[in-house]
Amino acid sequence: MKKSIVFISLLSAFLATAVWAQDDPKPRERMLLKTGSASAADPKGFSHKIGALWTQITNYGFYGDRNYEQPNFEWPGGSGNLYGWLQSIWIGGIADSLGYMSAGESNHFRPLDSITVKRAAQGSLSAEDTYTRYTDVDPASPSGVHVNLGVEVTERTYAWDQSYNDDFIICDYWIKYVPYDRNKNGKIDDAEKKLTGIYVGFRMDADVSGFLGSSTPTTLWDTDDLAGYDSTNKLTFVYDADSPSVVGDDTGNPDPVTGILRSPGYAGARLLYADSAHFVGKYTGKPTMATPSYRNFEPLTSQAQYEWVAKGTITTTMTVVRDYRAIFGIGPYTINGGDSIHIVIAWVIGPGLQGIIKNSQIAQSMFDGNYLRAPSSPDVPTLSITPTTSSGAPALSLRWKKNAESSRDPLTGVQDFAGYGVYRTSRQDAGGNSIWDTLAIYVKNNAVDKVKDSLWYGRPFLKNWPPPAVVQGSDTLYQYLDTNTPNGLIYTYAVTAFDAGDPVLGIGRLENQIGRGRLSTKVFMPNAPAAAGVSNIRVVPNPFMGSSRYNNPNPVDTNPWVSRLRFINLPPDAKISIFTLAGDLVKTINSGDVVYQSRDVKISGDFTGVAEWDLTTKNNQEAVSGLYIYVVESSAGTHTGKFVIMR
């Protein structure tokens, strides 16, 4: 969960011993990166979903997912609120006296390696590292005219999961020139032994406003944005502005009912480091070009894109809302065959201009500190959920192991575990953010600080230490019992561990993050167990009247609306055939079929005694209102019944 902390100066202070002058080679620059072979690899993507900023990275110089099947600069992660569309790296150079740009969104790069993922257990530098390589030589299906420059890119990405460093993803590039026979004369000519006029750029076509599945008109996603550039922080950004087609000020896309901003974020990229040794001209360490383009006014060809970046225009503020593409570049560079230049950026999002600036400054501190291990919350408790009863009513037993209590802070090495939090959600706000209810807080040894823990102190959810214990096999677990949990409803829970904080660094308690797709969080549906017979089979709700409490009350594209008609108390091998009154077969389903849909998480529970129908026919059409007959066939017997749909 997000907590307010003092961060910039103190974070810089604890990383200060690892800061180097930008002109000097850093330890990571002196490392010989593995080069591998030049063999091809399949185009692949991997989605960073460990922090608050979720997005897909690829092994061909592209970021996000233009089909929106994977996160595309989704913030906060799991909300379905999207800030990106086409994001990529641009690398330009001189070939045959002309400048050309290889662009990721134009399919100008070809994978050389798959994507390797490393996490803390494998010794990662961040919470989640990736590694891959790609080249601009002979891509499979380039868009437009493409000229092979002969560049080979080694890319590493770093993502964190703490409340102060989870709004950015750092991308670290080594761009190598591999001499290329452009003249195809069977040899490397003198002019081909080095690559000149190299510019490296980063483009973000961010369509900001609304989220998939929301009521926001898609016409407002991209046509009412503004872009800017902050020279001090080397930061380019795009944000949702006031659309002239909407009455009143709709900056940030406020919900028409609650006024909550559905798109409060500024999204962009910050230049963290740029090679100086191979730079031609006066080196400042800042972008040499930072000016946005927009739809119908942007360079579309490889040569025009090169000229756009090489022109070196800096534009800090745009005033007319449009469909902008934020872009910055740096150059020119010259490198000989086999040499490399080193460029590092951070893709970053934050609430408002000051929010993205703050988050970009934290990213800078993390990089300047050589990715030293940062303060971190304890390990995530291992959680399981089991249906039970309490005073004769359905209940859910949340049980978790004590593994978090022995974990050590990666910075200090100290076992600083200080307690547990238990949370539940079943709803979200207009911005796609889950609204969590705090069920219980357990502070180790009841060491509650009235100042540090003012939001907890005196509240009914603050419980005595330790949590109730339960023996399970040979292990003793902690347990929280959530009562009044009727079967068939979907519950989302999180159990977290938090630490004691660090008064020296001014950091409050650090706690595991919660939300769909995170290790701390589970989605569970309790159901009655499978039946031995067929006498108690029921359909719920009956009648089905347009909707029911079993339906998703907060649909977004990542967790959409799905109608749920439930057949309960089934034998485990039941087959249910649904017919019209005229005897036409509408659909056949089986025990264990559930219709819950989520991009990010799987639902857990015992589904052997239940089957759900989404009210679509075998021809994928919506079932109409009316009376329906169903027949259940199983090894325990046959049962016939009826139900009503009222649209």
pLDDT digits (tens, 9 = 90+) for 546-564: 766 676 655 555 666 678 8
Low-confidence ranges of the chain (pLDDT < 50): 1-7, 14-39, 213-214
Write down the pLDDT at residue 30. 28
Q: Which of 455, 444, 442 is nearest to 495 (CA)?
A: 442
Three-point CA angle 104, 107, 113, nearest 5°: 80
Write down the pLDDT at residue 410. 78
Q: Whole-angstrom Cα distance, residue 269 to residue 466?
A: 45
Both tokens of 573, joined, read 């091998």
Strands of 417-428's sheet, edge to edge?
Answer: 462-463, 434-443, 417-428, 491-499, 521-524, 603-604
Write down the pLDDT at residue 32. 28
- What ranges make up the beta strands (E) of 260-323? 265-274, 289-290, 293-294
Q: Whole-angstrom Cα distance, residue 414 to residue 419?
A: 15
| DSSP-derived 3-state class of residue 543 | coil
Domain 538-646 has CATH 3.40.50.720: no
Please, what sign has the CA dihedral across residues 35, 124, 47, 206?
A: negative
Domain positions in the chain are 47-368, 383-524, 538-646
Bridge partners of 639, per DSSP, are 632
Q: Could you tell me if 255 and 245 are in contact, meaning their C-beta atoms sit under 8 angstroms apart?
A: no
Write down the pLDDT at residue 230. 97
Write down the pLDDT at residue 26. 35
Q: Whole-angstrom Cα distance, residue 323 to residue 296?
A: 9
Write down the pLDDT at residue 560. 61
Neighbours of 410 (CB within 10 A): 13
Q: What is the dihedral of CA 231, 236, 240, 245, to 10 degrees?
A: 80
Query: Cβ contacts of residue 242 below 8 Å, gap of 6+?
Result: 224, 249, 250, 251, 321
Write down the pLDDT at residue 31. 28
pLDDT digits (tens, 9 = 90+) for 3-30: 333 445 555 554 444 333 333 333 333 2
Architecture (CATH level 2) of domain 47-368 = Distorted Sandwich (2.70)
Bridge partners of 269, per DSSP, are 236, 347
Write down the pLDDT at residue 1. 42
Q: Could you tell me if 316 and 328 are in contact, meaning their C-beta atoms sit under 8 angstroms apart?
A: no
Write down the pLDDT at residue 3. 39
349-354 CB contacts, 8 Å cutoff, 24+ apart: 349/52, 349/53, 349/73, 349/75, 349/83, 349/167, 349/168, 349/265, 349/266, 349/267, 349/268, 350/167, 350/265, 350/266, 351/264, 351/265, 351/266, 352/264, 352/266, 353/228, 353/230, 353/237, 353/239, 353/266
